[in-house]
Structure 1
Amino acid sequence: MDDQVIKVPESDKTLTPGKLFYNWFAANIGVMGFVYGAIIVSYRLSFIQAILAALVGALSFLVPGWVAMIGQREGVTTFKLSRAAYGTHGNKIPNAIAWFNMVGWLAVNVITGTLLLVSLFQVIRLPKNNVTTLIALLIFGSFVLLSGLLKEATLALIQTWLSWIFGVVTAVILVLFLVKANWQVALAAPSNSWLSGFLPAVSIVAAGSGISWSMAAADWGAYVKPTTKPAATFCHTTLGGAVPLFILMAGGVLLSTIDPTLAVASNPFDAMYQVLPSWIGVIYFLVAAGGLVPQCIVSLRSARINLATIGIRVSQRTSLAVHGVIVILIPVYVLFISGNFLSNFELFLNFLGICLASWVAIFLCDSVMFRRTGYDMNLMTTASPVRYNWGGIVSWLIALTTGFMFTNNAVWSGPFAHGMFRDNSLGVFMAAIAAVICMVIVKLIRTRQLNVKRVAE
């Protein structure tokens, strides 16, 4: 769509609430949900706390629901709306974050697909070592590149069928987990602190789910039929993402009672494969790996489009080459040098969560405080007179700094990351809170300036 054409054409607004729900459901019914369950368990929560953390974390999709509703109301996609909050040039900040988000998740999907194949190699008695891991990486990477030759419609059809098959097999596996779960161990697990255990578990799940997906929410919301009630867009977006994620995370929590090593396993899928009957494990992992391929292709194409919105225009061949190198180097580091998928995944979610929580908090505050009567389309064109909206930009920088000051991990230690903020992801929440406070101050300053101007007139 031409950059000067801000609103989505009425003829393109064809999404129904049911289709919207399915899109979000299909995008979130993936094997990574079990990994989130393992991450929740790593915070040493009681069974009730873990299930509640899964529920609250899944409800972070209230944020994409809100953003989608704005997208439907304005008929404008996410990053064109974001120009109002940051300015046309200042908006390159969230654009860059979105690119990092897409490339990071692309790398995560490639790593996940590789680990799934490594676990499947047990069927043909191949040993688990660097050689077989490299073979798995080459096989999965080749499928991704070859699938890039397929048309969008073909990829969508494949993804639809794989989503249905994955959903059916997942239901069977969840029943197996319910039967095999060690309920005595689960219910006897002691509770951890609600502040330093429960909240960090919620924040890391929210960072990788609702907060991360908020950057794409208006992209779908803008294509919803105009006759659809905003409440329907909100509910179908929220439930479409939250329902499958919560069910899968609960399954991951149950799985940890069967295999306690899940929370610390370098390959959580290997631990999962060990507790499944071999026949269903093969089907499930093959479908899960296959379902990741179309997601990788979509991420590759989206990353190229995102670069273009920043102002970096490259050919499809150059984009594939550049992004291909990046998403191979990252898996090589994680799989062969670091050797621990879960710890690196949490590190990625931590950094990503702080950046995106700051962005979406400012985006929503700007919408509520300054756009209640609607967005000025002139602010979203490249010819906009507001190149830098310093209120949004400075608020983002302060929120980002605040988040990192309360964060410590393997590569960073903030000066205030002590006590309840030590070794967890509460910096994500601190960044969002700081963003809201900054935007309230911006609102007060602009209101005062407006009042002074009126008095002067």
Structure 2
Amino acid sequence: MQRSPAGPVPASYDTGRDLAGSVESRGIDCVPDAERHGRARELFPVWAAPNVSYLSFVVGGTLVLMGLSLPETMAVIATGNLFWLLTGFIAVSGPAAGTSGSVISRAMYGVVGNKFVVALTGWLISSLYLALNWSAASTAGIGMTAQLGMAQSAALDVVVVCLIAAVTIVIAIYGHATIVRLYGAVSVFLTLVFLALSAMVLGHADWSYAPAEPLTGTEHLVVLASGLTLVASAPLSYANSPDLARYLPRHTSGRAVTLWTAFGAYLPSVLFTGVGALAATTLDMSDPQAALESVMPPWFVPTFVTAVVVNTMANNGLTAYSSGLSMQSIGVRLPRMFTVLVVGAIGTAMTLFALLVFDFLTAVNTMMELVVVVTGPCMAVYATDIVLRRNRYDGELLHDQSRTSPFWYRAGVNWAGMLATLGGAGAAALCAGSTSWTGPLAAAMGGVNLALPVGVLGAAALYAVLTRVLGTIPEAAGRR
């Protein structure tokens, strides 16, 4: 029996194996240089597959329903999705350290402080996303069983949910190499299906569309800010990009890692969110699935539903994979395969509860409107740390959790990172405006939601100042 930093590893495992079709045995432990492989361009399909998405159509339709004109909607879509560059930028730390982002963040928060941050952002919020996505896919799948004439029952609903969850978890268990290989084919399939759907939608679009009552004044600013936050919340929810890049050779171009990651997500997100906006010019996107199915020939509907389910599996596959690593990083001493199973079981239970017992999704959706308040500052602190350290991370030192570790700081906490994140999140909450919460500063400005710029820029600036004041980044870390 071998051991890894996360706990025992069965002797039958080959610790260095990262082959498509084989279960990845490595968890958060460092990937040695001799086992690094691949090229940055492999990241493009990895990030395209989750973002060739039915959700993009929904978000585009929502922006038009909010009252924006078509040019404004397209500008919000193009601008909000630029935050994928931030997702791509933090991915560069993966090849540098050779370990997961949930371990690298010990540099920002300290050995002990990092456990609390990762438990919230890398595990709890990720589990909620699993439940949300599985619920949406299961609803589509359950609807398909009704169209096929199958008798509807709670037992059938459970079967559909468990089947979708099981396939997703298998993808996450097989891990990195399988994801890289599989998602290339998945992204091609999804792109073909959604391009076909886009052609059907564009044939019904009103290119001269204008809102019946154009927005003006403060109300106009409120909707623009809310729309931008809605679009940006997707890239700001993916702090796991280092996990998918950590097997790349150490000296892989940081620019290449950033751009291939960002473009893989940005291009399909912009394209299909834009199509969703055009769909809303003539279709009732308050019920997006029914609206989109109304422009499809009957034979295409099963293909569309299959694509929705496959996209959800691709999205949740990445989430479950990184959540398993996050559980290891906070101290759960189990091999990665078993932590993924634990995450999957919790997410499945949440999904079943949402669909069969209680209107859990309403509460979760309300909370997710404000998720950018937390995830924005966390990603800003991470990106700022990369800049200040010039992406110089020692994976072996990051795994040292003793009191002599350079990342123990004070009582195991890097107060520069903790205070910057809490300060950014607090300021963002004061400036947030949503259907569930309006901060006092947002209320004073007529409801304009400035949580995104205030949280991101505020946390970044505060972290840069506090690291200098507290001396938490050694001067040598910033030298080449």
Q: Deviations over 1:143-177 (max 9, x none)?
A: 42366467727777665544322211111111111
From 261, 285, 293, give the equivalent of 2:313.
Answer: 293
Q: Bigger shift: 190-199 or 104-113?
A: 190-199
Deviates more, 1:63-72 or 1:426-435: 426-435
Distance 1:421 1:16, change over 3 A: farther
Measure how far apart 1:440 and its partner are. 3.6
8 Å CA contact 2:169, 2:340 repeated in 1: no
Which deviates the most, 404-413 or 199-208? 404-413
Q: 1:140 aligned to 147, 156, 161, which one?
A: 161
**Could you say which residue in structure 2 is the equivalent of 1:166?**
190
Q: 1:64/1:449 Cα in 2 relative to 1: closer, same or farther (>3 Å)?
A: closer
Q: How big is the shift at 1:441?
A: 3.0
Do the aligned partners of 2:161 and 2:351 also contact (CA within 8 Å) in 1? no
The 5-angstrom pairing of residues 189-268 of structure 1 reads: 190=214, 195-208=221-234, 210-213=235-238, 215-226=239-250, 228-259=252-283, 261-262=284-285, 264-265=286-287, 268=288
The CA deviation at 1:52 is 1.1
Identify if the C-alpha distance between structure 1 residues 307 and 379 changes in structure 2 by more than 3 Å, giving closer, same or farther: closer
1:44 equivalenced with 2:103 (yes/no) = no
Amino acid corresponding to residue 356 of structure 1 in structure 2: T
Q: Tell me which of 26, 35, 48 is aligned to 1:25.
A: 48
Deviates more, 1:242-251 or 1:77-86: 77-86
Contact 2:50 2:314 in 1 (8 A): no
Question: Could you tell me which of 312, 316, 333 is aligned with 2:332?
Answer: 312
Superposed CA offset, 1:235-267 (max 9, x none): 1111111001111101111111121x31x33xx
Of the structure 1 ranges 372-381 and 169-178, higher mean CA displacement relative to structure 2 is found in: 372-381
Write out per-residue CA displacement over residues 350-373 of structure 1, whole angstroms, 9 at most, x where no aligned residue.
Answer: 33211111111112222323x137
Q: Distance in 1 between matches of 2:463 and 2:179?
A: 41
Structure 1 residue ranges without an equivalent (≥5): 452-457
- The one-letter code matched in structure 2 to 1:406 is C
Query: Is the 1:181–1:254 contact (alpha carbons within 8 Å) kept by the matching residues of 2?
Result: yes
**Helix, strand or coil at the partner of 1:204:** helix
**1:374 pairs with 392, 414, 418, which one?**
392
- The reply to whether residue 115 of structure 1 matches residue 134 of structure 2 is no
Which residue identity lines up with residue 390 of structure 2 in the other structure? R
Deviations 1:262-317 (A, max 9, x none): 1x33xx32332223222222211123213433544554454343222212346867
Name the SS of the counterpart of 1:257 in structure 2.
coil
How much does 1:15 deviate?
A: 2.5
| Residue in 1 that maps onto 2:349 | 328
Distance of aligned partners of 1:392 and 1:227 in 2 relative to their CA distance in 1, 3 Å threshold: closer
1:269 paired residue among 261, 281, 289? 289
Cα distance in 1 for partners of 2:259, 2:33 equals: 22
Is 2:416 the partner of 1:391? yes
- Count of residue pairs brought into register by the alignment: 438
1:420–1:133 CA distance, 2 compared to 1 (3 A): farther
Post-superposition shift, 1:323? 4.8
The one-character-per-residue Cα deviations of 1:394-435 (angstroms, maximum 9, x if unpaired) are 12122222222223545545333315463x753233222321
Aligned to 2:9: none
The reply to whether residue 351 of structure 1 matches residue 353 of structure 2 is no
Offset of residue 45 of structure 1: 0.8
2:18 alignment partner in structure 1: none
Does 1:415 pair with 2:440?
Answer: yes
Distance 2:304 2:123 in 1: 30
How big is the shift at 1:204? 1.7
Post-superposition CA distance 1:129-148 (Å, at most 9, x none): xx668744541323423664
Distance between the aligned counterparts of 1:448 and 1:27, measured in 2?
36
| 2:45 alignment partner AA | Y
Partner secondary structure for residue 8 of structure 1 = coil
**Amino acid in structure 2 at the alignment position of 1:269:** Q
Tell me, yes or no, if the aligned pair for 1:147 and 1:294 is still in contact at 8 Å: yes
TM-aligned CA deviation for residue 64 of structure 1: 1.3
Cα distance, 1:181–1:344 mapped onto 2, change above 3 Å: farther
Distance 2:256 2:302 in 1: 38
- Answer with 233-242 or 215-224: which moved more: 215-224
**Which amino acid in structure 1 is aligned with residue 231 of structure 2?**
V
Give the counterpart letter for 2:414 in structure 1: N
Contact 2:60/2:274, CA 8 A, preserved across alignment: yes
2:459 matched residue in structure 1: 435
What is the RMSD of the two structures over their aligned residues, measured on CA atoms? Answer: 3.5
> Residues 88 and 417 of structure 1: is their aligned pair in 2 closer, same or farther, counting only changes over 3 Å?
same
The answer as to whether partners of 1:118 and 1:132 remain within 8 angstroms in 2 is: no
Q: CA 1:9 to 1:108, structure 2 compared with 1: closer, same or farther past 3 Å?
A: same
Tell me the amino acid that sits aligned with residue 407 of structure 1. Answer: A
The one-character-per-residue Cα deviations of 1:106-140 (angstroms, maximum 9, x if unpaired) are 1122111122124435634689xxx6687445413
Which residue, 49, 53, 59 being the options, matches 2:76?
53
2:162 is matched by which residue type in structure 1?
G
- CA shift, 1:93, in A, is 2.6
- The unaligned stretches of length 5 or more in structure 2 are 7-27, 476-480
Percent of aligned positions that are identical: 21
What secondary structure does 1:184 align onto?
coil
Q: Tell me: CA distance 1:280–1:421, structure 2 relative to 1, closer, same or farther (3 Å).
A: farther
- 1:3 partnered with 2:44: no
Distance 1:414 1:100, change over 3 A: same
Taking the aligned partners of 1:375 and 1:309, their CA distance within structure 2 comes to 16
Q: Residue 111 of structure 2: which of 43, 63, 88 is its match? A: 88
8 Å Cα contact 2:128-2:364 kept in structure 1 = no
d(CA) in 2 for partners of 1:41, 1:206: 16
CA distance, structure 1, for counterparts of residue 381 and residue 352 of structure 2? 33
Quickly say closer, same or farther: Cα 1:124–1:430, change in 2 above 3 A.
same
Letter in 2 for 1:405: L
State how far apart, in whole Å, the 2-side matches of 1:344 and 1:318 are.
26
Which structure's residues are more often helix, by fraction?
1
Partner of 2:382: 363
Distance in 1 of aligned mates of 2:244 and 2:472: 37
